[in-house]
Chain A
Amino acid sequence: MVGYKLGTIFGTHGFPVYDSTPLFWTESALQYRTARRVAQTGTVEAVMKDAQYPEGLDVKNRLTVIMETVCGYLYRLTPKTVPFKTFLIIIIALYSSLGVIPLYLTIAFLNDRSSALCAAALYAVTPAVYTTVTAPGFELQDFALPLVFFHIYFFIRAYSAEKYRYPYSFVSGAFLFAALASWHLTQFYYLLLVGFVIICFLFTSYDTKPFSIIVATNILAGLAIPALKTLGFVFSLAMLLSYCIILASAMPENRLVHRKTVLVCLMVVAGSLSYHISTHVISEYRFIYGFMWDKLRHFGARPAQPTDLPWQTLVMWVSPFTSPSRTAIISSLGTVLISGTIGAVLTAHRLLKRSGTLIDGLLVYFTVIFATLYVLMVRMDVFLVWFCCVLSARLWRDSRKILQYVLLLCIIGNCIFLFLRPRRTVGPDRNHLLGMLIHVRTNIPAGAALLTSFAYGPSILAYADHPIVLHPKFEGEHNTTKIEECEHRLFKDENAFYAFCRAYSAAYFVYQVDMLLARGPESMRYRTHAMTLSKGSVVYAFHFRPQVLKHFELIYTNPHYRIYRVLGYGAEPHARKLAYFRVYDEQMFDVADFGISVTE
């Protein structure tokens, strides 16, 4: 697995051996920059002023930086034989592959070693496992997922063993603790686990004690981890439901009090309380729940008219939170879909015959849930693959020989898929991005803040060391409000946008051609409901008529980007003779085709 990851990244033509610009993209670039800071100085600024200029990004209380810290410290401890970015790629390739160990251990524990080996082999050749690392990415999920999988392994041990069930659940809780501290989305996984526990509580005679230990470690995480504390994790829906389960199980069972009824009542209270918290106290939850609700409401498909959805939903409704296409499902999951489905059917059959165990229920539950979620959000593929592989091991243990052959064929099939699939690079065209970054590094004075779209901010911060106004971490306080305001003002007049630049002390603005020309479902125009525009909007001037701008001076241009200097009050822009690119030539376009009204 490690070899494939490294081979894919380093073997790419054009891999910058001596320079990292601009290897990582958006969130990965921001995380790379933080890790580099740790490697250089051993510290991280609690409030990173240059990452969300001018107020600063409260890294300590808002973000999870375990991955960056671990990688940075490891680099400090090891001899500096390779550049930091190469070290980072090697470390994350190694670390992210650890998810196969809990997979092997789980199956070896539940079945036997030979089926564990087969399932591990299937996991190792499934393309979805490599998507983020080979992008190349430096993503939090690659760090957190092995921790989540180890947590699941120990959770299974806790609920299977007669002896040591509490120590096992404590270790399971400890791994979940680490995962929660590493990746915000772990909370989402935990909510699903709570869902499983509720089902078990309602329909079986479920022992909640091991689960209570996990809840206790989670409470500790909610209190000890600054980012979780800020998010009010101990009052999140998942935690409130956990308290309900523990409370209900603690009730003495008698004729008057029925535990299951108590749980249902408590869940209603918890749901109402969570709704109140997310709408009035902690807006971050409203953001994600609102997005999930809108996705479900539209069955995972974007509406034809963006006006049906708010900006907050549309800004999240981008890759990797989009639904996968049929081609993407086949190319990333491949044959694991076949073996996983057969495994799930066999296990479900056992459950229906009442010969299945609680663990069988857990595995089928997670597989079904993650399959459903995967249809809504492509990012869920990593969970789905893991659970499908665990269930695939059932094929090896089945008495029917044909199922063993099916599993072997699935492994071979995915192996072929993996080596034949085209290489996918995440991010924009590197040539023009590099050109723009070199210009920023060599021509823009140090310390000058740049306003870019939120996705491009980290590239400027990481590879040009300039403060940025916007970044893609929606957890950052006020960041989403700033992004929303910026994106909306871009489609208004020049003065409105200039006021925004001045308010946040942006000295330069980086314009991208897709700000005006793109109208697809992931475009700025789509999410700001600006599908039709007038020629009087500032974005039109940024693209076609820089000479009419009064407060912005065009200083650099390439076919994808333009850099504007934000002028001081009363300053006159200087007309510069810059290279011609037809993409900026008004006469080359029938602007009506781009939803731009011909009247001024």
Chain B
Amino acid sequence: MNKRLLLAGCVIIAATISITHIPFTVEPISAPKVEYAGDTLLKRGLTLYARDSLQEAALILRRVLTFYPDFSLLHFYLAEVSRRQGDVQTAEKEYTHAIEIDHELYPAYYELALLRHAAGEHARAIQLLETAIILNPYDREAYQTLATIYIDIGDFAAADKVYQRQRAVEEHTVE
């Protein structure tokens, strides 16, 4: 027992001293570059998207999801691809997911509003556009779309107010 305890103590001390000395090198080491496959795929996916190769882009971007499951911009781009492919359901799901992750992502609010408007859900579309305008008061397209929706539903006074708000912001910016 006596010897075993002494041996155990010696082993712990020797191991600690070894570990604190062994790994060090004075030479600069060149560690293998860490490959971020997610980045490469994301870049490729976005390039394909820019080239309108939507099906391939969707496939690649879906693979990126396994690397960055909670990256709001990725969900936004996936939604964009789906929207352009005509897959409204997936687009809506992805826009919503992007907004859940990043509450300030105003392009997602805007695009989602367009989809809701197309589906005849004007009240929801108006709500989303109002949020988009709060988040980016200089988003000309958001004002235009909002005014158009009001015109579509026959609320011309509200449309006029939207135009006035837009003008006020633009004049303020010019100043």
Residues B19 and A66 in contact, CB atoms below 8 Å apart = yes
> Does any Cβ of B come within 8 Å of A60's Cβ?
yes
Measured between alpha carbons, how far is A170 from B8 in the docked complex, in Å?
9
Out of B6, B29, B172, which one reaches A45, CB within 8 Å? B29
A167 touches B68 (CB 8 A): no
**With A59-B24, A220-B13 given, is the CB distance from A70 to B5 under 8 Å?**
no
Pair B24/A19 contact, Cβ less than 8 Å = no
Report B19-45 CB contacts with A as 1/0, cut-off 8 Å: 111111111110111101111001100
Is the CB–CB distance between A434 and B25 below 8 Å? no
Proximity string of chain A (142-177) to chain B, C-beta cutoff 8 Å, 1 when within and 0 when not: 000000000000000000000010011011011101
Which of B8, B13, B29 contacts A177 (CB under 8 A)?
B13
Contacts of B72 in A (CB 8 A): 431, 435
Bound-state Cα–Cα, A21 to B66, Å: 12
**Chain A residue with Cβ nearest B4:** A167
Nearest Cβ in chain A — how far from B102, in angstroms?
6
Tell me whether A16 and B136 are in contact in the complex, defined as CB-CB below 8 angstroms, given that A167-B5, A167-B9, A177-B16 are known contacts.
no
List chain A residues, Cβ under 8 A from B156.
none
Cα A69 to Cα B13 with chains together (Å) = 16
Contact of A174 among B12, B23, B134 (CB under 8 A): B12
- Label chain A's interface by main secondary structure: helix
B119 at the binding interface (Cβ < 8 Å) = no
Residue of B nearest to A44 (CB): B23
User: Are A431 and B70 in contact, with the CB atoms below 8 A?
Assistant: yes
Interface centre among B2, B10, B43, B70 (most CB of A within 10 A): B70
Q: For A167, give its contact among B6, B73, B172 (CB under 8 Å).
A: B6
CB pair B172–A18 under 8 Å, yes or no, is no
Cβ-based interface call for A577 (8 A): no
Docked-complex contact A69 and B9, CB < 8 angstroms: no
Q: Determine if A178 and B16 form an interchain contact, defined as CB atoms under 8 angstroms apart.
A: yes
- By beta carbon, the residue of chain B nearest A432 is B102
Number of A-B contacts (CB under 8 A): 144
Q: Is B17 close to A, CB under 8 A?
A: yes
**Chain B nearest CB: distance from A463 CB in Å?**
8
Chain B hits for A72, CB < 8 A:
23
Return A184 CB to nearest CB of chain B, in Å: 13
Is A582 within 8 A of B136, CB to CB?
yes
Q: Across the two chains, which residue of chain A brings its CB closest to B102?
A: A431
CB pair A441 B70 closer than 8 Å: no
Q: Which residues of B contact A164 (CB under 8 A)?
A: 1-2, 5
Q: Are A581 and B104 in contact (CB under 8 A)?
A: yes
- Contact B19–A40 (Cβ < 8 Å): no
Contacts of A70 in B (CB 8 A): 19
With known contacts A37-B29, A42-B23, A178-B12, A582–B1 Cβ distance under 8 A = no
Whole-angstrom distance between the Cβ of A264 and the nearest chain B Cβ: 32
| A245 interface residue per 8 A CB criterion | no
Q: Is A171 touching B31 in the complex (CB atoms < 8 A)?
A: no
B17: chain A residues within 8 A (beta carbon):
181, 224-225
- Interchain nearest-CB distance for A272 vs B (Å): 32
CA distance A391 to B137 in the complex (A): 62
Q: Are A69 and B19 in contact, CB atoms less than 8 angstroms apart? A: yes
Beyond A66-B16, A581-B104, whether A438 also contacts B39 by CB under 8 A is: yes
Inter-chain contact A18/B38, CB cutoff 8 Å: yes
| A465: Cβ under 8 A from any B Cβ | yes
Q: B66, B70, B73: which contacts A430 (Cβ < 8 A)? A: B70
Q: Which of A167, A226, A438, A582 contacts B20 (CB 8 A)?
A: A226
Closest Cβ–Cβ distance, residue B64 to chain A (whole Å)? 9
A-side contacts of B36, CB under 8 Å = 19, 21, 441
B107 to chain A, nearest CB (A): 9
Most chain B CB inside 10 Å of its own CB: which residue of A49, A65, A174, A217? A174
Q: In the complex, how many angstroms separate the beta carbon of B27 from the nearest chain A beta carbon?
A: 8
CA–CA, A504 and B72, complex, Å: 34
| CA gap between A559 and B29 in the complex, in Å | 36
Complex contacts, A355 vs chain B, CB 8 Å: none
| Contacts known (A19-B36, A21-B36, A581-B104); A174 close to B25, Cβ less than 8 A | no
Cβ of A220: which chain B residues have Cβ within 8 Å of it?
13
> Are A580 and B138 in touch, CB under 8 angstroms?
yes
Distance in angstroms between the alpha carbons of A432 and B72 in the assembled complex = 9
B120 at the interface (CB under 8 A from A): no
Task: Indicate if the CB atoms of B9 and A19 lie closer than 8 Å.
Answer: no
**A582:B25 contact, CB within 8 angstroms:** no
Contact A559 B104 (CB under 8 A): yes
Docked complex Cα distance between A294 and B5 (Å): 43
Asked whether B28 lies within 8 Å of A37 as measured between CB atoms, the reply is no
A204 close to chain B: CB less than 8 A:
no
Complex contacts, B73 vs chain A, CB 8 Å: 435
Q: Does B101 have its Cβ within 8 Å of any Cβ on chain A?
A: yes
Query: Which residues of B have CB within 8 Å of A224?
Result: 17, 20
Residues of A within 8 Å of B32, CB to CB, are: 40-41
Which B residues, 63 to 94, have Cβ-Cβ distances below 8 Å to chain A?
66-73
Q: How near does chain A come to B97, taking the closest CB pair, in angstroms?
A: 11
Q: Is the CB of B68 within 8 A of A66?
A: no
- What is the CA–CA distance of A227 and B135 in the complex, to the nearest angstrom? 51
- B5 — which chain A residues lie within 8 A by C-beta? 164, 167-168, 170-171
Chain A nearest CB from B60 CB (Å) reads: 14
Q: A66-B16, A167-B1, A442-B39 are in contact. Are A582 and B24 (CB under 8 A)?
A: no
Interchain CA distance A16-B36 in the complex, whole Å? 13
- B42 near A17 with CB under 8 A, answer no
Task: Give the docked Cα–Cα distance between A434 and B23 (Å).
Answer: 31
Chain A residues 211-230 with CB under 8 Å of chain B are 217, 220-221, 224-227
Interchain CB contact under 8 A, A14 and B70: yes
Q: Are B39 and A173 in contact (CB under 8 A)?
A: no
A232 to B138, CA, bound (A): 61
Could you tell me the distance between the alpha carbons of A175 and B135 in the complex, rounded to whole angstroms? 57
- Contacts of A581 on B, CB cut-off 8 Å? 104
Task: Tell which of A17, A45, A47, A175 touches B12, judged by Cβ atoms closer than 8 Å.
Answer: A175
Instruction: List the B residue with the shortest CB-CB distance to A47.
Output: B26
The yes or no answer to A38 lying at the interface (CB within 8 A) is yes
Instruction: Pick the contact of A16: B23, B28, B33, B69 (CB < 8 A).
Output: B69
B61 nearest CB across to chain A (Å)? 14
Q: Closest 8 CB pairs between A and B?
A: A167-B5, A14-B70, A174-B9, A174-B12, A19-B67, A170-B9, A46-B24, A43-B25
24 chain-A/chain-B pairs, Cβ below 8 angstroms: A13-B70, A17-B69, A45-B24, A45-B25, A45-B28, A46-B25, A47-B26, A66-B16, A66-B19, A167-B2, A171-B5, A173-B9, A178-B12, A178-B16, A181-B17, A217-B9, A217-B13, A225-B16, A430-B70, A431-B102, A435-B71, A438-B39, A465-B34, A582-B134
Given contacts A21-B68, A43-B23, A168-B5, could you give 8 more A-B pairs where the C-beta distance is less than 8 Å? A18-B38, A44-B23, A60-B24, A170-B6, A181-B20, A435-B73, A441-B39, A442-B39
Interface residues of B (CB under 8 A from A): 1-2, 5-6, 8-10, 12-13, 15-17, 19-29, 31-34, 36-39, 42-43, 66-73, 101-102, 104, 134-139, 172
